[in-house]
Amino acid sequence: MSLAPIGKKTVRDIDVSLKRVLVRADLNVPLDHGAISDDTRIRESLPTIKYLQEQQATVVVCSHLGRPKGHDDSLSLSPVAGRMGNLLGQEVFFAEDCVGPAAETAVRSADSGRVVLLENLRFHAEEEANDPEFAGALASLADVYVDDAFGSAHRAHASTEGVTHFLPAVAGFLMEKEVAYLSALVADPPRPFAAVIGGAKVSTKIAAIEHLLPKLDILVLGGGMANTFLKATGIDVRMSIVEDAQVEIAGRILDRARERGVEVHLPKDVVAAERFAADAGSRTVLVGKVPRGYMILDVGPESLAEARKALSRAKAVVWNGPMGVFEMDKFAAGSFGMARLIAGLDATTVVGGGETAEVVAQLGLQGQFSHVSTGGGASLEMLEGKELPGVAALMDA
């Protein structure tokens, strides 16, 4: 699949030599008792940082971590500075605030080619409020702004949109790659084009499905959201999670898919359990045979076999949303099976971030996909055809 230019200037298009460059990265890494359990997002930020270092820029990196309400030591970016330094092979200086004297001193003290990481942006409520004064304080630390945080590009925050009113603003390499892959896939996908859509709630995926439907040849549905579609076809899903307010919409989507000749695959068999628990008694049954009092928590092997047959013809596949409750081992086979299935296809394969990327990472399959997005919400909004505020704010090419 050929990737078109993203229509925005990138870090290649601007002089950064010997300048102070503010880089908005997505370093919202998972923590396990204070330790980084997956450093993928840190690694993905490195190409842009290394490029800036090669240009002898002073690299000032900022990010959020978690959802703190004010200062919270458990959500400090200090451990990220340590890991980033290990990966870069040099010390990353850590500023104990992202604005004010601590940030200003850290940046002023850093030589050309060195990296400073600012403390968690969300320790300040002004970040999410896109406060102009806060954005101006961030911008005052640098001469140029580079947005490399695709995972936050769907939010108009001070560090993603506000700073662009104060500094020349361009895309980093990760932002460029993310936007190029997802926009090319939605605009002009290779044929046949397939989407695999899962996750818990159909309400969060309706807009993406509706936007993709005119371009799709194959649609595979799974996860909790598939229950709403199954109910729309008249199947009794017993105690399974269903969004009753979306049943009529799901039915209309299935009707439109048939009219357009889109091949739709709903689960044929499922893993159903007595309750939502890792140790619950479970059975693999056909979708119309779920026992009374049971709930669907994963797709079954027949569903995966049907998906394999359908997807083997595809030239491009986008996958967003797990096939079941993969956090529980007993109900992870569907999601893991789908990951292995798509990873083995001779096609352009794109994973839409979030939980789907977690499944791929758990299996160590990242390198077997054409692209694994770092942004769940942002990738979903691109699949919905929306323009992301963080991208729209960058300078046009």
Count CB neighbours of 392 within 10 A: 14
- Strand duo 282-286 + 218-221: pairing: unpaired
Report CA torsion sign: 116, 120, 121, 123: negative
CA 124 to chain CA centroid, Å, is: 24
Beta bridge partners of 318: 195, 350
Buried b (16+ CB within 10 A) or exposed e, 189-222: beebbbbbbbbbebeebbebbeebbebbbbbbbb
Q: Regarding the domain delimited by 181-383, which CATH topology (the fold level of the hierarchy) does it fall under?
A: Rossmann fold (3.40.50)
List helix spans (H) across 15-111.
40-54, 78-88, 101-109
Confidence of residue 4 (pLDDT cuts 50, 70, 90): low
CA 204 to chain CA centroid, Å, is: 14
Q: Do 181-383 and 11-174 have the same topology in CATH?
A: yes
User: In this predicted model, what pLDDT tens digit does every residue of 308-319 receive, in sequence order?
Assistant: 999 999 999 999
pTM of the model: 0.93
What is the reported pLDDT for 336?
A: 98
> Is it the case that residue 32 has pLDDT exceeding 90?
no
> Is it the case that residue 388 has pLDDT exceeding 80?
yes
What is the reported pLDDT for 5?
A: 83
What is the reported pLDDT for 33?
A: 85
What is the reported pLDDT for 353?
A: 81
Active site residues: 41, 201, 354, 377
What is the reported pLDDT for 34?
A: 84
Burial-class residue 224 by CB neighbours within 10 Å (0-12, 13-18, 19+): buried
What is the reported pLDDT for 314?
A: 98
What is the reported pLDDT for 174?
A: 96
Confidence of residue 2 (pLDDT cuts 50, 70, 90): low
Tokens of 38: 């997956």
Contacts of 14 (CB under 8 A, 6+ apart): 144, 168, 170
Residue 33 or 297, more confident: 297
Ranges of each domain in the chain: 11-174, 181-383
User: In this predicted model, what pLDDT tens digit does every residue of 271-287 receive, in sequence order?
Assistant: 999 999 999 999 999 99
User: In this predicted model, what pLDDT tens digit does every residue of 81-124 receive, in sequence order?
Assistant: 999 999 999 999 999 999 999 999 999 999 999 999 999 999 99
Q: What is the mean pLDDT of residues 154-167?
A: 98
Query: CA-CA distance, 374 to 149, in Å (whole number)?
Result: 9
| Whole-number percent of the chain with pLDDT over 70 | 99
Query: CA-CA distance, 187 to 17, in Å (whole number)?
Result: 35
User: In this predicted model, what pLDDT tens digit does every residue of 165-196 receive, in sequence order?
Assistant: 999 999 999 999 999 999 988 888 999 999 99
Beta bridge partners of 58: 20
Q: Which CATH class is domain 11-174?
A: alpha beta
Q: What is the mean pLDDT of residues 284-313?
A: 98
